[in-house]
Structures are given as structure tokens and as C-alpha cells.
């Protein structure tokens, strides 16, 4: 419990110290036990990974096909509903649904552009057995600073730093101020359209070679390969390749934004 307090100023992108171990254990629970031999383990490993790839494919397909229902009607809730995968949208929706318990007070203008607010919130606790959160009668204040120039906010609870989910205090503030949530808080990795790299890798348990994404990926990889070869051996051409790729990345992002705004 003490860990989030001491590392909350850092951005951890949802990674926890025990996450990897727990994830791996649960993945192999149904396939491996203490009597499993090495030969059996290899086969079971393939089966487990095949199952995992299939499940992820189903989740991604579900996120693209179905749209989770709006609960609060906040503008930012609609936005996240449209672009985030189901799993992450549920987290955002939990924050949106708790906005009704918040009260916002303006404290002071701390500099030319930054204004400090206090947001009063109710305390939520988690039931150890059911793992569900419940509302208590206790209150807690959070300090939120808002920069009028950059439109960025920083909340004392630091939920975004260690969960990569914008907190309800910041959502409340953006709503009160009539400002849109900046791109900085909308992570590309949680978008429905993002193609996870591992889905392009052909391994024994997962053959994605027939998908449209993978065909395109392979074509581009082949087309780029001569440039990488030349860039790595011809003097002073590496920087040229890297600059071109950087420019290309920006142009592709511009194209993506254009397509998304047309949807
Ligand atoms: Zn907060």
C-alpha cells in the first residue's frame, strides 16, 4: 500500500511490481502443474499462448464492433467511448460516474497562468473479499492546478501517473471550465485502432499471416529493409534515414487524425 505514495509522481503506465508474475501464473494455471514434464510443458506452453492470442483477438474485435453505453453524458465520456477499448473505457466511466460526489472550489491564482482549485471528494474503499469498491461517509480534498496556457491540469491524487487514466477531479475541472480534455491525457495505446505489435508476429501458436494488417506490415517491412541496410553501411546516411522516418511518422499521425475526425 505504501508504494503508490512514494512513486505517485512518476508515470508508470499501469505497471505494478507483481503484475508480471501474477499474469504469468494465471496464464498457465489451467495447463501446467507440478507433475508436468519438460516435453509436456512445451506443448502446454503453445496451447496456453494460442488461447491467449485468441482471447486478445476476440477482445479487440469486440471493442471495434460494439460501443459501451454512456452512463453520465459528459462530453469527455462520449469521446472516450468512441476511441478507447472497452477495458479502458470502463475505467474512465468509473471516474465519470463518481463526479456527482465532487465539489470544486477555486483557491488562488498561483502565477500568471496557473490557478489552483480544491476538489472535495468522498472516500471509496475496496471490499477485500468481493474486490468491489464502496462509498464511505469520509471526505477528502484534492488540490488540482490548471495552466490556462497549456490547458494541462495536475491533480494531487496522481491517478494518471500510475494508472494512465485521467482522474475524476481533472474531468470535473475540465467540465466546469468548459475546456476539452487535452490530447496528453488520451493515450494512443488504449485506442481501438492501435494494432498491437505482437499480433503481427508469426509463431507456432499464432499465425496471423492472413490478416490484412499483417500483409501490409510485411509489405512495408520488405520495402523499408533496403533503406535500413544502406543506412547502416553507407557513411553519414543513417541520420538521413532517421530524419525521414521521423517526418514520415508525423505525416502518418496527421493522416490518422484526419481520418478519425471524419468518422
Ligand atoms: Zn485526481
pLDDT digits (tens, 9 = 90+) for 74-103: 888 887 887 787 778 888 889 998 999 999
Statement to judge: residues 99 and 177 lie in one domain:
yes
Same domain? For 100 and 180 the reply is: yes
CA of 9 to the centre of ligand 1 (A): 12
Distance CA 263, CA 251 (A): 19
Confidence of residue 119 (pLDDT cuts 50, 70, 90): very high
Place 3 in a pLDDT band, splitting at 50, 70 and 90.
very low
Asked if the structure places residue 201 within a domain, the reply is no
Tens of pLDDT, residue by residue over 30-44, are 666 777 777 777 777
Domain that holds residue 35: 16-65
Tally the domains of the chain.
Answer: 3
Residue 104 lies in a domain: yes
What whole-number distance in Å separates Cα of residue 256 and Cα of residue 185? Answer: 18
Q: Kindly give the distance from the C-alpha atom of residue 18 to the centroid of ligand 1, in angstroms, as a whole number.
A: 24
pLDDT, residue 245, reads 87
Determine, yes or no, domain membership for 204: no
Gap from CA of 154 to ligand 1 centroid (Å): 8
CA of 69 to the centre of ligand 1 (A): 24
124 and 59: one domain?
Answer: no
Stated pTM of the model: 0.53
Q: Is a pLDDT exceeding 70 seen at residue 113? A: yes
Residue 1 has pLDDT above 70, yes or no: no
Q: Do 170 and 116 share a structural domain?
A: yes
Shared domain for 53 and 82, answered yes or no, is no
One domain for residues 132 and 222 = no
Using the mean position of ligand 1's atoms as its centre, give its distance from the Cα of residue 68 in Å. 24
Range of lowest pLDDT (125-129, 171-175, 200-204): 200-204
* 30 CA from centroid of ligand 1 (Å): 39
**146 and 106 fall within a common domain:** yes
Instruction: Give the C-alpha separation, 89 to 4, whole Å.
Output: 22
CA contacts within 13 A on the Cβ side of 19: 7
7: in domain: no
Amino acid at each position: 500500500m505504501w508504494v503508490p505514495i512514494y512513486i505517485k509522481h512518476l508515470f508508470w503506465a499501469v505497471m505494478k511490481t507483481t503484475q508480471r508474475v501474477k499474469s504469468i501464473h494465471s496464464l498457465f494455471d489451467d495447463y501446467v502443474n507440478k507433475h508436468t514434464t519438460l516435453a509436456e510443458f512445451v506443448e502446454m506452453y503453445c496451447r496456453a499462448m494460442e488461447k491467449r492470442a485468441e482471447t486478445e483477438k476476440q477482445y479487440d474485435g469486440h471493442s471495434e464492433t460494439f460501443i459501451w453505453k454512456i452512463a453520465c453524458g459528459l462530453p469527455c465520456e462520449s469521446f472516450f467511448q468512441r476511441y478507447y477499448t472497452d477495458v479502458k473505457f470502463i475505467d474512465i466511466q468509473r471516474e465519470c460516474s463518481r463526479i456527482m460526489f465532487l465539489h470544486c472550489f477555486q483557491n488562488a491564482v498561483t502565477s500568471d497562468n496557473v490557478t489552483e482549485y480544491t476538489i472535495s471528494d468522498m472516500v471509496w474503499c475496496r471490499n477485500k473479499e468481493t474486490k468491489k469498491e464502496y462509498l464511505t461517509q469520509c471526505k477528502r480534498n484534492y488540490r488540482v492546478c490548471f495552466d490556462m496556457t497549456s490547458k494541462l491540469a495536475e491533480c494531487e491524487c496522481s491517478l494518471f501517473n500510475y494508472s494512465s487514466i485521467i482522474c475524476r477531479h481533472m474531468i470535473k475541472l475540465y467540465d466546469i471550465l468548459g475546456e476539452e480534455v487535452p490530447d496528453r491525457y488520451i493515450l494512443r495505446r488504449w485506442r481501438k485502432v492501435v494494432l498491437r505489435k505482437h499480433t503481427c508476429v508469426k509463431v507456432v501458436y499464432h499465425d496471423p499471416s492472413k490478416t490484412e494488417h499483417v500483409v501490409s506490415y510485411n509489405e512495408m517491412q520488405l520495402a523499408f529493409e533496403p533503406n535500413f541496410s544502406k543506412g547502416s553501411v553507407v557513411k553519414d546516411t543513417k541520420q538521413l534515414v532517421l530524419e525521414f522516418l521521423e517526418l514520415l511518422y508525423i505525416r502518418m499521425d496527421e493522416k490518422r487524425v484526419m481520418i478519425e475526425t471524419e468518422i
